[in-house]
Every structure is written in structure tokens, then in C-alpha cells.
Amino acid sequence: MSGAELNGKPITLADLRDGIDAIDDHIHDLLMQRAELVEKVGEVKGASAAQAVYYRPEREAQIHRRIEARHHGPLPIEAVHRIYREIISASLNMEKQLTVAYLGPEATFTHQAAIKQFGSSFHMYAQPTIDAVFHEVEVGRVNFGVAPVENSNEGAVTHTLDRFVDSPLIVCGEILLPVQHNLLSRRDSLSDVKRIYGHRRALADCHQWLDAHLPHVERVESESTAAAALKARDEEGAAAIAGEYAADSMSLNLLAEHIEDRAGQENRFLVVGRIPPKPSGDDKTSIMVSFQDHPGFLHKVLGLFAERGINLTRIESRPSQTRTWDYLFFIDCEGHQDDPRVAEALQALADLPGVTEKILGSYPKRAL
Amino acid sequence: MSGAELNGKPITLADLRDGIDAIDDHIHDLLMQRAELVEKVGEVKGASAAQAVYYRPEREAQIHRRIEARHHGPLPIEAVHRIYREIISASLNMEKQLTVAYLGPEATFTHQAAIKQFGSSFHMYAQPTIDAVFHEVEVGRVNFGVAPVENSNEGAVTHTLDRFVDSPLIVCGEILLPVQHNLLSRRDSLSDVKRIYGHRRALADCHQWLDAHLPHVERVESESTAAAALKARDEEGAAAIAGEYAADSMSLNLLAEHIEDRAGQENRFLVVGRIPPKPSGDDKTSIMVSFQDHPGFLHKVLGLFAERGINLTRIESRPSQTRTWDYLFFIDCEGHQDDPRVAEALQALADLPGVTEKILGSYPKRAL
């Protein structure tokens, strides 16, 4: 067996470690040079703006995108993003401790999402409700809030969007986490599973896998994923469809991972704050729009975007809560509200008779 | 108001951002060069050893110590350690996914400690008991285990050390987290607090602060910190002494942070594994020793270390569980078992009549 060679001579472990040490020293020097430049950014902003804005979601998105575009080599890109996330997180919190409120409890997907977005130098506070998350940001006790908006794993119907009706806050970011369904049980083997509990949506997401692997096992709908996991913990022979965190916290065995039928599904979270992000080059805009009942009106609304070549990425209708918002829609489109085409479409929409429009925010688009 | 200047000309934000981008590109290139060298380490080890050992606690400790020794500049050293932790964590998990079992549930101090040690590229599994943590490592389902051994915050009396009596596992690392006591309550103000709950040890740790700030408020001992936090949540006017995680998970207000009387106390956790670390240059050794009752015997045992100039950092007696271990002591000393002086002391101890000695492991010493 021949070892690695360099210029025809065998490389020793000591050579390699010296090489790694030299690189580490170099990275360390660069981190400090970077921190000094970040300090100067603070000074320049202090001289040019009444309120220094340290965290700029669009700038952070650009840094990650640039690194991803030039990435090659043996480290996975996710690991590289994690390293830069910590570098950026440390820089942002150098002069002032920034804070985040998220929908708790800890160690749930929303907590994971907050850490994915902000890194570990931010202080994070779990909140019991989405309302409390908004409130903490509104009264200025924290800089940002994180709340789920589409969540297939936890199966919760959340009302994050409704909270914008009466809130002065804006959307300043989105966070995506891949959906992962697993089969969990106290037993060790698939053949021991007598009954499967899962949220309706989770059972639907995995039905092909269940048909193939456990065709004759009874499936029972649970109110939530947490309720399904409790059944798996407490009922002999029961299994649950849940995220990995439930395996940890309830000491269940992971009988099968990634049993979802379609890959690439995502849970989505919103970052709420008070300061609007500037264009990052690849953005989304979220709006809320209401109008009186009128046949064909929604079609007309959507036409304003279509005729300007603006893609809609999401549209959701919500029951109205007040008379002002008789028919309430949440619409996400591609582009930033400062882009002329988007601005024009938003203006045309606001000018329609009987329409009330509220722009919730423009923010960097995320890949998974 | 004058802005920052460079060679007499005002620096613009664009200049600074270009500078940061250039540094980021450079760091990125170095990360990839580093990963390539780490790959070569794997090849050299593969060629030279039957079992490639990817994770070397002593090597990791040396990297962190070298960076700490040369550190200067605006980023706090803790943030620099976190960035390197992610770099090392990513490197280690490049070729093979490494795994850790820890005493759960998630988001407790033990989970924090595991992340502090291993970074976020390791897969972590919460276990319900210390026994389960050991078992997962013993049967080879995970690479490492993390369990608390001294924990002032959670106030638990843990029996991690006892588990070594019958286990083939060794200690291959220690993790320290600073003790932080906080006063938590549903109320907003200290003047609303009618009663304070806390674990005996927590009340003792904070008695000066409590005497100074809440001298006339009743103090009640709780069985555990978790029990105290529950009282604060459920009882009108109650407050609890607890860690910050309890504020998050029970939605309590942080009335006062860091109310402990002495700074620098620490919670300590052990990393258990199967492969002994080599000397890192600044190590500790943990041993378990038993002997028959005999006046002056412990004094004699300790003398063997003292006469060789070896510091003991910790000594704890435990009730015996079997006849073999009539009087059982856990002793930590400075130095590695491969250091000649330490080896000599350990041998002299084992040679004493009536003594049974078990070396639990040598591992890198940690600063907080």
C-alpha cells in the first residue's frame, strides 16, 4: 500500500499538520482584517446615517451567493455556509448584541431556522406564541422575530400572515428548511409496527412509501406531529411520522429516514423586523391585498403581474377578520419593490377601485 | 462629523465591502486548501494504520490553543473559537459522518456542551439516561458520548462516574461551560417577587446577591432547577433561580442575569469514547481507585502524587456498589498518563497492597 506523495517523497503527518497550521494562522489573520473592515463600515454608517443599521439581510445574502458561485473543492457547500454564517454572526455582534425572538419551544424547526439564519452569536429568546414573537419586535425588545409560515413537518396551521394585518412590522427575510419525514418507534424493526400515527398532511406526504413498505399496517390521523410522537412513545407497537427532533426528545428509534415521497419540499419561515432590506439582486416581495367580492377580480389582479412578466411564487386566501378586509389574499412575487416593474405592478394594483393593498416587505430569495 | 479615512480620502461603503469580499474569497480558498490537506491526512493514516482515527481530541485542542495564543483584534476569542469549531467539525465529517449521543433532552446544558465540543457537522442524538449514553457508545452505534459530571446549574446529582466501574469506555475529553444563575419570573419587576425558589446549591451560590437585592423575600428549596422554574411559571409572585434556557422554554422574564456571587464557576461534562487521546501538551488524567479501610491510607495515596509534583484537580469519594470497590475514589490529576512522572505515580499507586486502580483516561485540559 503506498501513501500520499509530494514531489516523489512520501508526505508525513507532521508535514500535513504544519501545512494545516499555516493555513489556520492565515485564516485567523484574515478574520481579524475582516473584522477591522466591518468596524469601519460601522464608522462610515455612523457618519452617514442617523441610525446605524448593522444587519443587512441583502448584504448577507450576497456574500453567501458569491461564495456559493465560486465554490469548488472537498467541503460540502452547506458546511461552507455554516462557517460563513458564524463569521458574519460574530462580525454583526461585535459592537452590539443583536437579539431574535422565535416561536418556541427550543430545538424545534423554528429554532433551527433562526440559527440557520442568524448563527450562534445572536441572542435568541423562545416565545410561546406567534403573537408574542411579533410583540417583542414591535416594542423593540428584540431586533428580529422568526415565525413559521408553511410547515409540513409540524403540521401546524399557523396564522403568522394574519398578524401582519395590524402590525407595523415588515417581512425582512425568509428561511427554508427541507421537509424530512421519518418513521419513529420504540421498537427496533419495521416488522414490529402495528399502527402508524401521523398528521394528515404527513400521512399524505408519505403514502407511497407506506404502501410499499407497510401496506397492511393501520394508519391513524393525529391532530399534530407532536401528538403522533406521543402515541409512538406510549402505545405498544405504535410508530409515528415525525421529524428527527422527536426521536431525540422522546427517545424513539429511527426506523426509517426520509420517507417522504417527493424530495425538495420545504418548510418556510419568515423573519420580521422594522428596517426594510434593500435589493440583493434576487428578491421576493410579499403583499397583502383585499377587495370586495366581484367575479373575475382575482383574475384581473393576477393579470397586473403577468402582463409585466412578474412570477408569483405563492398565493393564499385567508378568511377576513375585519370589514376592511372582506376578501384577503397573501401574494408573494419575484423581485424587489424598488424594481421598476414590480413597483409599477404594485401601484397599478393599489389604483384598482375597491382594493386595499399592504406591502409586507421585500427580502432576499433563498435557495433551500 | 468626520467619517473614516484612508490615505486622507474618505472611505466609502463600497470600498469597504469590496475589501470584505476580497477577504471572504481568500478565506474560502484557504478553507478548500485546508480540506485538501485534511483529505491527505486521511490517506496517510489509511496507509499507516489499520484503523484510521479521524477525530483526535489532542490535535483539536492544540489548534484552538495555538489560535488563542496568537489572537489579537476586534473579534472576541469565543467567536473565533466558534468559527474554528465549525471549520474543524466540517473537516472531520467530510468523509464519514461522525455521531454523538448526549444526555437529553435537547437544548439543555449537556446539549450545549456537546455542540461546544463538536460543532454542528456531527450528528447528535439525545438519550434519556446517562446509562443510555454509555450504551450507545459501547455498542458502537455512535462515536462519542457526552454526559454531565459537575453541574451547578441544573442541580442534578449525576452518576456519570459510577458508570465507568463496569464500562470499557474511556474519558477522552472534558467540556466546561460557565455557571450562570438568573432570576426568572412571570412578573416584570423585582419588587413584585414574593417568594424565590431554587435548588439548594443555586440558593447558596447566590445568597449574597439575594441578601443585597431581595433581603426580605422568602427563599424555598426545590428538588431541582426545573422544579423551581415550574413554580415560577405556575405560582403568582414566584421567581426561580435557573439558567437562561428555562426563561425561554417556560416564557419567564429575566429579572436579573448572572446573580451568582462568584464568577468563574463552571459546569463540567465528560466526553466518553473508545480511542485514547495522545498527549496534547496540557492534559488531565482521571482515575478510579479503591482500597480497604485503613487509617491514613488516602493520605498515602495522595502523597504518591504530591512527591512527584503532580497537582490533583479533583477528588471525590463515592459509596461502593460492589465488594471489589469497598472505598471508591475518583481522582483527576494534571498531566497525561504517557508523561513519565504521571506514569510512575499511577504505577506506584497500583502497586500498593489492597489497591485496585482503573485509569479512566487522559485528555486535553480545557480553559472555560
Task: Kindly state whether B52 is in contact with chain A, defined as any CB-CB distance less than 8 angstroms.
Answer: no
Contacts of A38 in chain B (CB under 8 A): 20, 74
The rounded mean pLDDT for chain A is 85
Task: Report pLDDT for B48.
Answer: 56
**A252 within 8 A of A240, measured Cβ to Cβ:** yes
- Which chain A residue has the Cα nearest residue B102? A248
* B83 to A80: CB separation less than 8 angstroms, yes or no: no
Q: Is A344 helix (H, G, I), strand (E, B) or coil?
A: helix
Task: Report pLDDT for A53.
Answer: 64
Read off the pLDDT of each residue in A205-215 and give the average, rounded to a whole number: 91
Task: Kindly state whether B204 is in contact with chain A, defined as any CB-CB distance less than 8 angstroms.
Answer: no
Of B287 and A330, which is predicted with more confidence?
Answer: B287
Residue of B18, B24, B257 for testing the chain A interface, max A β-carbons within 10 Å: B24
Task: Report pLDDT for B3.
Answer: 53
Task: Kindly state whether A121 is in contact with chain B, defined as any CB-CB distance less than 8 angstroms.
Answer: yes
Contacts from A339-348 at CB under 8 Å and sequence distance 24+? A339/A279, A339/A283, A341/A308, A341/A309, A341/A310, A342/A285, A342/A308, A342/A310, A344/A308, A345/A304, A345/A305, A345/A308, A345/A310, A346/A285, A346/A287, A348/A304
Task: Report pLDDT for B181.
Answer: 87
CA–CA dist B234, B222 (Å, integer)? 14
Burial of B292 (0-12, 13-18, 19+ CB in 10 A): exposed
Q: Does A144 score more than 90 pLDDT? A: yes
Other beta carbons less than 10 A from residue A213's beta carbon: 15
**B329 within 8 A of B299, measured Cβ to Cβ:** no
For chain B, list residues with pLDDT below 70: 1-6, 47-54, 105-108, 151-158, 245-246, 248-249, 264, 293-295, 319-326, 368
Task: Kindly state whether B50 is in contact with chain A, defined as any CB-CB distance less than 8 angstroms.
Answer: no
Q: Which domains does chain A possess?
A: 30-48+55-95 (1.20.59.10), 99-179+265-273 (3.40.190.10), 182-254 (3.40.190.10), 283-364 (3.30.70.260)
Contacts of B84 in chain A (CB under 8 A): 24
Find, among B79, B118, B285, B278, the residue nearest to A17 by Cα: B278
Contacts of B3 in chain A (CB under 8 A): 43-44, 47-48
Contacts of A94 in chain B (CB under 8 A): 74-76, 79
* A128 to B245: CB separation less than 8 angstroms, yes or no: no
Q: Does A350 score more than 70 pLDDT? A: yes
Size of interface A-B (CB pairs under 8 A): 221
pLDDT digits (tens, 9 = 90+) for A6-45: 677 777 889 999 999 999 999 999 999 999 998 888 888 7
The three cell numbers of residue A163 are: 398578524
Burial of A104 (0-12, 13-18, 19+ CB in 10 A): buried
Of A168-182, A201-215, B49-63, B201-215, the range with the lowest mean pLDDT is B49-63
The C-alpha of A230 sits at a distance from chain B's nearest C-alpha, in angstroms, of 15
CA–CA dist B183, B198 (Å, integer)? 9
Task: Report pLDDT for B86.
Answer: 92
CA–CA dist A17, A38 (Å, integer)? 31
* A37 to B20: CB separation less than 8 angstroms, yes or no: yes
Measured on CA atoms in the order B146, B150, B154, B155, is the torsion positive or negative?
Answer: positive
Task: Report pLDDT for A304.
Answer: 92
Which residue among A30, A75, A132 sits closest to B26, beta carbon to beta carbon? A30
Measured on CA atoms in the order B39, A61, A117, A94, is the torsion positive or negative?
Answer: positive
CA–CA dist B111, B267 (Å, integer)? 13
- Which chain A residue has the Cα nearest residue B71? A28
Q: Which of residues 228-287 of A touch B (CB under 8 A)?
A: 245, 247-249, 251
Burial of B283 (0-12, 13-18, 19+ CB in 10 A): buried
Task: Report pLDDT for B63.
Answer: 93
Contacts of A99 in chain B (CB under 8 A): none
Task: Report pLDDT for B153.
Answer: 52
Contacts of A13 in chain B (CB under 8 A): 41, 44-45, 48
Task: Report pLDDT for B8.
Answer: 74
Residue A293 pLDDT class (50, 70, 90 cuts): low
CA–CA dist B132, A136 (Å, integer)? 39
Task: Report pLDDT for A13.
Answer: 86
All residues at 6 or more sequence positions from B26 whose CB lies less than 8 Å from its CB, including other chains: A30
The three cell numbers of residue B73 are: 483584534
Task: Kindly state whether B82 is in contact with chain A, defined as any CB-CB distance less than 8 angstroms.
Answer: yes
CA–CA dist A287, A325 (Å, integer)? 13
Amino acid at A150: E
pLDDT digits (tens, 9 = 90+) for B280-298: 999 999 999 887 766 677 7
**A301 within 8 A of A349, measured Cβ to Cβ:** yes
CA–CA dist A238, A343 (Å, integer)? 54
Residue A4 pLDDT class (50, 70, 90 cuts): low
CA–CA dist B203, B261 (Å, integer)? 10
Contacts of B64 in chain A (CB under 8 A): none
Q: Which of residues 13-42 of B touch A (CB under 8 A)?
A: 13, 16-17, 19-21, 23-28, 30-41
Which element (helix H / strand E) includes B188? none
Contacts of B125 in chain A (CB under 8 A): 247-248
Task: Report pLDDT for A3.
Answer: 52
Task: Report pLDDT for B50.
Answer: 40
Task: Report pLDDT for B53.
Answer: 64
The three cell numbers of residue A139 are: 416594542
Q: Does A47 score more than 70 pLDDT? A: no
Task: Report pLDDT for A343.
Answer: 97
Task: Report pLDDT for A319.
Answer: 63
Find, among B143, B140, B175, B145, the residue nearest to B53 by Cα: B143
- Which chain B residue has the Cα nearest residue A69? B25
CA–CA dist A74, A279 (Å, integer)? 32
